Structure 1
Amino acid sequence: MNGFNWRTLSADELEAQYNPRKSVPDFEQHFTAWVERSASARTRLPGAYDLRYGPGPLQTYDLHKPEGSATGRPLVVLIHGGYWRGLDKNTMTFTAEPFVAAGAVVVNLNYDLCPAVTLDAIVRQMQDALVHIVAKAADWGTSAARLHVIGHSAGAHLAAMMAAAPWAGDLGARPQIASLGLISGVFELEPVLHISPNQEIRLDSAMAVRNSVTRFAPKLAGPVLVAVGDDEPQAWQAQSVDFHQACRDAGTQAHLMRVANANHFNILYALADASKPLCTALLRQCGLK
């Protein structure tokens, strides 16, 4: 690991390092921009909205398919952030555009939020979603063998868990993920026990251990791109650095990308722009370039 010791931090320092809203005072303007850009994108993207993969209030997804009747297209799954307690898929729609334009079928996932459900329940919902998506893949003109999962923040954690978390027998075979794109993620959860968002997340020590994916990093046949902003707090960057190293230690092909002039929130604009290195790298990783 990189040697960063969060246990030496004061309560205020922990909050500043592990609560992204504290490190970016104007974070709300990004939420507004994501919603506005996503609403605009929905006027251009072909889509079917609020489809269901489960019974929970927010167990829904949007489906975006390129024009035409091609088969075997890459299948890209997007998972939004919000520290498992906020936001929804309507903040991520704009990031789907370059992938659909390049020929991918894109699924933009929602999930129920803490404190209405636990993080354990959210992980299970994401597993249910992947099973549902893979079963539908052929109908959508895509291939379950070309499944790529991309997540931001808490969504990056959930994406990683899809490849690494224990898989319940009642789910059937685990879908094989071709690649992961993990953007400004949180992977080691013990520090979250000590910051204010946990009043809503409601992690306890055992749940934090069960869901600290750095400790059981995925062994993936395909690549993992771990991206983090250069302007993010040191401890938050360490989450990505440590997870990247854990993947490599597990024998997974992993690449760490530091995104210049990016914080936890504006990094999403780089995901949505096919001219930026982050989007370009993920398009290539998904077989779209």
Structure 2
Amino acid sequence: MSDWRKMSPQELEAHFNPRAAVPDFERHFNGWIERSQDAKANLPGEYDLRYGPGPLQTYDLHRPASAKPGAPLVVLVHGGYWRGLDKNTMIFAVTPFLEHGAVVVNLNYDLCPKVTLDAIVRQVQDALVHIAAKAPDWGADAAKLHVIGHSAGAHLAAMMAAAPWPQDLPAQPRIASLGLISGVYDLGPVLQISVNQDIRLDAAMAERNSVMDFPPRSVGRVLVSYGTAEPAGWQAQSEDFHQACRRAGTSSELLPVDGANHFDILYPLADATQPLGAALLRQCGLA
């Protein structure tokens, strides 16, 4: 894979804008919503609980009917390039974790351009503190905290274990594992493509949020996954981040999903019979 810095504007758009790479992306959005609506009808849950004052600082809480004390706590973080989508597209991904005994939190956050990426990272940090404090009340063990994110959500999940922790917050919750699915970790290319009209990164913000440069050390395990049908530049983000984690001394597994693109990779994530879904369940201590 050639250096993205040497790509033309057209090449950058093709490699680093998933919607440009998958012209029928809206079909996948509709599929997520349909599956999530079906799942919601059958899942126990408390919806739109609050962890902060922002319009979208909410989460859904799902507890298994026969929860055992000290259950693993799984947090799902949606994608959308920090500018779109919400937790309602991820409800169907709750099912396998809930069925295998985890307490599951499906997280929302405010979006660019109404807030900055810096603000979104802080919101997710606030959410983790809130979730860790609530865990005993939910029958979960905050020491078994597993954060799984897709796309921009994978970036946010990685930042929870790697970014400097705000001094005005309680102690940083220790993350037992990260599941990072089709993520973006070096934000340099984002400065050069059309999505930045909404995200509004500048060079300094991109640098302090490029988790590729400071991969997580204080995390038990990392699973990095991507689809082999994604553009080579996007695949390289995952491959390079996996190597950065290993150089930092963090246990990291790289799992390509054969034939998956940026959007349909969510289906094997939510399927315990698929290699990706099964690997995430094992990492969370659920299989």
Q: TM bucket by the smaller chain?
A: over 0.9
Moved more, 207-216 or 5-14: 5-14
Aligned to 2:63: 65
Normalised by the size of structure 1, how large is the TM-score? 0.98
Report how many residues are paired. 287
Instruction: Give 2:263's match in structure 1, choosing from 241, 262, 265.
Output: 265
Opposite residue 146 of structure 1, the aligned amino acid is K
List alignment gaps of at least 5 residues for structure 1.
Answer: none
Aligned to 1:96: 94
Q: CA deviation at 1:69?
A: 4.5
Aligned-pair Cα RMSD in Å: 0.7
Deviations 1:93-142 (A, max 9, x none): 00010000000000000000000000000000000000000000000000
Q: Using the alignment, how far apart are the partners of 2:126 and 2:67 within structure 1?
A: 27
Opposite residue 244 of structure 2, the aligned amino acid is A
Aligned to 2:187: 189
Aligned to 1:114: 112
Instruction: Give 1:37's match in structure 2, choosing from 35, 38, 43.
Output: 35
Normalised by the size of structure 2, how large is the TM-score? 0.99
Deviations 1:201-239 (A, max 9, x none): 000000000000010000034110000000000000000
Aligned to 2:169: 171
- What secondary structure does 1:237 align onto? helix
Q: CA deviation at 1:68?
A: 2.1
Opposite residue 78 of structure 2, the aligned amino acid is H
- What secondary structure does 2:98 align onto? helix
List alignment gaps of at least 5 residues for structure 2.
Answer: none
1:1-289 aligned at under 5 Å gives the runs 4-289=2-287
Q: Using the alignment, how far apart are the partners of 1:223 and 1:214 within structure 2?
A: 16
Q: Using the alignment, how far apart are the partners of 1:280 and 1:109 within structure 2?
A: 22
Relative to structure 1, the CA distance from residue 194 to residue 274 in structure 2 (aligned partners, 3 Å threshold; closer, same or farther) is: same
Q: Using the alignment, how far apart are the partners of 1:112 and 1:281 within structure 2?
A: 30
Deviations 1:264-289 (A, max 9, x none): 00000001111000000000000000
> Which consecutive aligned stretches of 4+ in structure 1 deviate over 6 angstroms post-superposition?
none
Q: Does the CA contact (< 8 Å) of 1:220 and 1:253 recur in 2?
A: no
Opposite residue 276 of structure 2, the aligned amino acid is L
Q: Using the alignment, how far apart are the partners of 1:268 and 1:19 within structure 2?
A: 17
Q: Using the alignment, how far apart are the partners of 1:185 and 1:114 within structure 2?
A: 17
Q: Using the alignment, how far apart are the partners of 1:219 and 1:34 within structure 2?
A: 33
Opposite residue 154 of structure 2, the aligned amino acid is A
Q: Does the CA contact (< 8 Å) of 1:4 and 1:238 recur in 2?
A: no
